[in-house]
Structure 1
């Protein structure tokens, strides 16, 4: 097999929009479901371009080891000189909000005040030092799961000793300042191949932190009917901010990502999440001037001739 895009992932529910895009662009592709299997380290990988869509939320689908499988596979591919989009170093960004925070801060992008707490013994005391109100979140998160708002340290201290406590999968809990938006929204900016595709305004008026845009993540209303779309195109994002994001992604070797930020009531623009296995909302895609999945398929397809020619000498 040669001249093919390999999509490395662990969640088949997120693949259909990308499969449709590859088909529409005439780009041959194959899914690599990384939930089990093996690799022979002495055997050369197949010809092609490899795109990692491994997710920080894999543990919520009983695929907790997929990130470890990914670390092995992506290093193996790189050792053979294969073209890997969102490779091993990018996977570390995906599965660690501490890594994201450090990289964004280093790039001069404003991030929220954050305390990383290792284990649980010091959680209550750390929260007391940090001060309420605040939010707690998992260092290895995804889809907004594990994010909670706390208006008192006492309520947090009671929760972490209760049966309802949800430990972070990697044992690192983040305490983060509560950011109050100037309106009930956050913004997610989408990037492919060093290019800004579009921005999405996400309605947060319900108070939920679960803001996954994919159709597979949609939460039905109480009567089983889909709620009104929470995701809408936004066309007034500061170009200077987009330029900073593009420089950040280039420096970190990220080919495909969605970056989330909030514009606060006190005039700050704070960036708090980098999604390197980004999904796209179907309502937004239907009205967007460009399609995120189609841009990805077109770009990865354009890499195939160079990759095959290089490998075959």
Structure 2
């Protein structure tokens, strides 16, 4: 029986999609790419994949959940599926971009999408040289392969960068590559995340960044509200928070439209990305800088309930259509 095969490494992020698939009575299979839950007896690349469609939700941040090699394993499985002509949503090209921000920025710039100036470096001395070459402070230091804001820091000076790099508590980037990135000053502490499903724009969400870099919209990733204790929520990448009443961290923007959406759609089509959240920040002059592409996107329930939308339901609807079309093609062959 043909199914929707969901390739992932995190049940907590995938369970809402599974619930949406079950609500539509769509057949599915969960391919958890870690903990011996997929190919428990070994992956045989000479075998034949099952029938159906395959949706990759593999995440660059898998290592932060103990699934260190899940992306690498997936990088072997996706070409096998593609070689057998299976319908793969967020294909091997998409995965390549998911796990490397430098690759993302190169692809975005090639598509005419502006990114913050970013220099990649391996090792302490090269990272310091990159910061000197950038020639401005403050700047952002981040790992090339991260996820959910892991390892992202605002650095005020070269001396501070040296201190960070020399600190034994500083965790080295997973692939050894540091990014030294231009700091974009925004008029407000917020970024915009645009959600695309099936290659089409679904909605944009305003994300309050005043409490740090963890911008994952999944319900299980939400930072608890500040109750006035001394917990450090980290630096806001879009400027200082204004005083006043607390706001929802995620808020869907009604009627959002911008010419950047057409460029995003073209970028996704050229790079095998069909389901994604893509994030940008506006500087004080109103110019857009795109800085992150998430091919393993999540949705915030509270924001969606307030807007009367459901990303997972729309995604399930899209996957159901793709399964039906795949079956029609297979039977006609």
Q: TM-score, normalised by structure 2?
A: 0.89
User: Are the equivalent residues in 1 in contact too, given 2:4–2:52 (CA < 8 A)?
Assistant: yes
Deviations 1:201-240 (A, max 9, x none): 001123x111111011112246599x86300011354431
The corresponding residue for 1:21 is 20
User: Are the equivalent residues in 1 in contact too, given 2:206–2:252 (CA < 8 A)?
Assistant: yes
Once residues 191 and 25 of structure 1 are traced to their aligned partners in structure 2, the CA distance between those partners, rounded to angstroms, is 21
Specify every segment of 5 or more residues in structure 2 that has no aligned partner in the other structure, as ranges.
230-245
Once residues 301 and 197 of structure 1 are traced to their aligned partners in structure 2, the CA distance between those partners, rounded to angstroms, is 17
Once residues 75 and 266 of structure 1 are traced to their aligned partners in structure 2, the CA distance between those partners, rounded to angstroms, is 43
Once residues 224 and 63 of structure 1 are traced to their aligned partners in structure 2, the CA distance between those partners, rounded to angstroms, is 34
- The equivalent position to 2:146 in structure 1, one of 132, 137, 141, is 141
| Mapped pair 1:218 → 2:222 | yes
The corresponding residue for 2:162 is 157
Query: Displacement, 1:281?
Result: 0.7
RMSD: 1.8
- The equivalent position to 2:84 in structure 1, one of 80, 101, 104, is 80
Once residues 93 and 196 of structure 1 are traced to their aligned partners in structure 2, the CA distance between those partners, rounded to angstroms, is 19
Deviations 1:166-218 (A, max 9, x none): 21101111000011111111000000012111100001123x11111101111
Once residues 307 and 275 of structure 1 are traced to their aligned partners in structure 2, the CA distance between those partners, rounded to angstroms, is 26
Once residues 85 and 288 of structure 1 are traced to their aligned partners in structure 2, the CA distance between those partners, rounded to angstroms, is 27
Query: Displacement, 1:136?
Result: 0.5
Once residues 88 and 228 of structure 2 are traced to their aligned partners in structure 1, the CA distance between those partners, rounded to angstroms, is 41
Once residues 129 and 260 of structure 2 are traced to their aligned partners in structure 1, the CA distance between those partners, rounded to angstroms, is 36
The corresponding residue for 2:100 is 96
User: Are the equivalent residues in 2 in contact too, given 1:51–1:85 (CA < 8 A)?
Assistant: yes
Once residues 68 and 252 of structure 2 are traced to their aligned partners in structure 1, the CA distance between those partners, rounded to angstroms, is 33
Q: TM-score, normalised by structure 1?
A: 0.94
Deviations 1:17-60 (A, max 9, x none): 11121122221111110013322222211111100000000011
- The equivalent position to 1:199 in structure 2, one of 204, 208, 218, is 204
Once residues 258 and 78 of structure 1 are traced to their aligned partners in structure 2, the CA distance between those partners, rounded to angstroms, is 23
User: Are the equivalent residues in 1 in contact too, given 2:59–2:296 (CA < 8 A)?
Assistant: yes
User: Are the equivalent residues in 2 in contact too, given 1:47–1:307 (CA < 8 A)?
Assistant: no
Query: Displacement, 1:285?
Result: 1.8
Once residues 109 and 142 of structure 1 are traced to their aligned partners in structure 2, the CA distance between those partners, rounded to angstroms, is 21
| Mapped pair 1:308 → 2:309 | no
| Mapped pair 1:169 → 2:174 | yes
Alignment partner of 1:239: what SS?
coil
The corresponding residue for 1:184 is 189
Query: Displacement, 1:289?
Result: 4.1
Given the superposition, is the C-alpha separation of residues 130 and 11 from structure 1 closer, same or farther in structure 2, using an over 3 Å criterion? same
The corresponding residue for 1:58 is 62
Alignment partner of 2:191: what SS?
strand
Alignment partner of 1:247: what SS?
helix
Specify every segment of 5 or more residues in structure 1 that has no aligned partner in the other structure, as ranges.
none
Once residues 43 and 224 of structure 1 are traced to their aligned partners in structure 2, the CA distance between those partners, rounded to angstroms, is 57
- The equivalent position to 1:39 in structure 2, one of 25, 38, 43, is 43
Query: Displacement, 1:306?
Result: 2.8
